[in-house]
Every structure is written in structure tokens, then in C-alpha cells.
């Protein structure tokens, strides 16, 4: 895999952001396999489609690419806020690639985020553009990358090093067990995963997770039995193989 951008594909563009978009998309379709099915080639979709940039002809999955110079950070700038919310609530959002590239145009990091790790909660509404702007009143959004559980960030390239295809496909197939079209259940599952990830030790107790009750109540105001919901989600994550019950209210992280 050649990690260097091909600068020749962007010679006809003047805008720096356009150059990066063209070079990063070109790099992706010329170097990357499909992380969902292992197909050795993915393709660029027609320009100006509202949903995604890239697709796999084998499995039919569609992908969007977001690129950032150097570190990915905690937020990723995305498009129109209302469009993004409609995608998520309609279960129409694409799979996501997030790329970090260096000053000298080498791919440093490439992370694959499956679409079922998206919830409304990770989308931040930006301020409307001022009345003097060309698109006055337009409202964009940010993807709050740091709110996506680590289990949903599948490394393809990390610190300039490629991860084995088999490892990526196995990880994706494991995370697919968490897929649900129910946005409320998805939100709870992602929140509980984030809480478990904040517990530093490999093993933890039910009481350790109960300590996040106030935080969970602030996010799920209509639920008046938070502890029962926590137990339900722990059972779900246990059944899907993400945690292991070891007895007497104790659990062990599996991944």
C-alpha cells in the first residue's frame, strides 16, 4: 500500500480543501479494500450524490471519507446538520472513513467507523452562518469523534503502519453483533460502552457502572429506572461477547 497522496490528480484545483478532497478520495479508491466484506476494490460514486463518496460493488455498502491534517482530534467537521440528523434517524447514514494525513501528504491514520456506532448524540449543531455569508443561515455540524466508543473505531492504518486485513474484517464482524435499527437502544448501548471504557481496570463490578447513573439520567431523562437499564445493557453486551460475567456482580472486559 502506497501511503503517499498522488498530487497529480489535483493539479486543476485551486482551493487547498478541494485538493485534499480529491487526493484523499483518489488514494482511497486506489489503495483500499472494503472493510465490510474484504472486496479488494472500492469505487468512487458519481459526484454530488447527497449520501456518500465511495461504494463497494460486492456488498453494496457505501462510505463517506473525512480527512484532517495531522491529528484527528475530538471533532470532525461535517455537512448540513439537519441532513445528518435525517440520515441517522432514518438509518441511511453511510459507513465512515476518517483519515489523518501529514504535512508532506502521507496517510498517517485511517479509521473505519461502522454506521451503527452513530447516534444523534454524537452530532453537534454548529451556529448558523451570519447574514453576510454567501449561505446565510446555513447550519452545519460536527461529528464528536471522542464520543464514539473505542470499539467502533477500527484501525486500518495506525501511525503509518497497516493493520492486517483479516484483523480488520474480524473486528468488523464482531462489532456487527451490536447493530440495531432502534435508535434508543443504540444510544443506551453506546453510552454504556463509553462508561465501561472509562473504568480503568480490566475487571469491574455492577456498582462501578452504577456510579455513572447520574450521567446516564441526564442523557435519558424519560427513564426512571436507570439501574435496571444498566443491567439490561450489560446483559446485552455479555450476550454479544463484549464483556464476560465472572460471578458475584463482577465482569471482565473482553475487548
Per-residue model confidence as pLDDT tens for the chain (255 residues)? 899 999 999 999 999 999 999 999 999 999 999 999 999 999 987 655 544 579 999 999 999 999 999 888 899 999 999 999 999 999 888 999 999 999 999 999 999 999 999 999 999 999 999 988 888 999 999 999 999 999 999 999 999 999 999 999 999 999 999 999 999 999 999 999 999 999 999 999 999 999 999 999 999 988 889 999 999 999 999 999 999 999 989 999 997
As a whole number of angstroms, the distance between CA 216 and CA 109 comes to: 32
| Per-residue pLDDT at 53 | 76
As a whole number of angstroms, the distance between CA 97 and CA 32 comes to: 11
E strand or H helix at 175: helix 165-175
Pick from 179, 173, 162, 241: which is nearest to 35 by CA?
173
Give yes or no for a contact between 118 and 89, defined as CB atoms under 8 angstroms apart.
Answer: no
Give yes or no for a contact between 34 and 10, defined as CB atoms under 8 angstroms apart.
Answer: no
Residue with cell 480527512: 67
| Per-residue pLDDT at 47 | 59
| Per-residue pLDDT at 255 | 72
| Per-residue pLDDT at 49 | 53
Give yes or no for a contact between 167 and 154, defined as CB atoms under 8 angstroms apart.
Answer: no
| Per-residue pLDDT at 134 | 84
Give yes or no for a contact between 220 and 121, defined as CB atoms under 8 angstroms apart.
Answer: no
- Whether the CA torsion 181, 156, 147, 18 is positive or negative: it is negative
| Per-residue pLDDT at 71 | 85
| Per-residue pLDDT at 52 | 54
DSSP string, 14-32: -SHHHHHHHHHHHHHHHH-
All three cell numbers of 59, joined, read 456488498
- CA 188 vs CA 121, 218, 232, 233: distances in Å: 11, 12, 10, 7
Task: Read off φ and ψ for residue 83, nearest 5 degrees.
Answer: -65, -45
Amino acid at each position: 500500500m502506497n501511503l503517499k497522496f498522488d498530487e497529480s490528480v489535483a493539479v486543476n484545483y485551486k482551493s487547498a480543501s478541494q485538493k485534499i478532497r480529491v487526493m484523499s478520495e483518489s488514494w482511497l479508491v486506489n489503495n483500499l479494500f472494503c472493510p465490510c466484506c474484504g472486496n479488494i476494490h472500492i469505487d468512487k460514486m458519481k459526484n454530488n450524490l447527497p449520501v456518500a463518496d465511495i461504494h463497494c460493488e460486492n456488498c453494496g455498502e457505501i462510505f463517506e471519507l473525512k480527512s484532517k491534517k495531522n491529528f484527528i482530534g475530538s471533532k470532525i467537521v461535517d455537512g448540513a446538520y439537519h441532513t445528518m440528523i435525517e440520515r441517522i434517524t432514518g438509518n441511511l447514514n453511510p459507513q465512515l472513513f476518517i483519515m489523518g494525513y501529514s504535512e508532506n501528504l502521507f496517510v498517517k491514520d485511517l479509521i473505519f467507523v461502522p454506521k451503527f456506532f452513530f447516534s444523534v448524540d454524537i452530532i453537534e449543531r454548529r451556529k448558523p452562518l451570519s447574514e453576510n455569508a454567501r449561505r446565510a443561515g446555513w447550519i452545519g455540524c460536527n461529528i464528536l469523534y471522542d464520543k464514539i466508543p473505542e470499539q467502533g473505531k477500527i484501525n486500518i492504518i495506525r501511525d503509518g503502519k497497516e493493520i492486517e486485513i483479516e484483523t480488520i474484517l474480524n473486528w468488523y464482524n464482531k462489532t456487527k453483533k451490536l447493530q440495531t435499527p432502534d435508535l434508543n437502544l443504540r444510544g443506551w448501548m453506546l453510552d454504556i460502552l463509553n462508561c465501561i471504557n472509562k473504568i480503568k481496570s480490566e475487571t469491574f463490578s455492577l456498582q462501578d457502572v452504577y456510579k455513572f447513573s447520574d450521567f446516564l439520567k441526564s442523557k435519558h431523562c424519560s427513564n426512571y429506572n436507570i439501574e435496571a437499564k444498566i443491567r439490561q445493557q450489560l446483559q446485552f453486551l455479555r450476550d454479544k461477547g463484549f464483556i464476560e460475567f465472572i460471578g458475584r456482580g463482577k465482569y471482565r472486559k473482553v475487548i
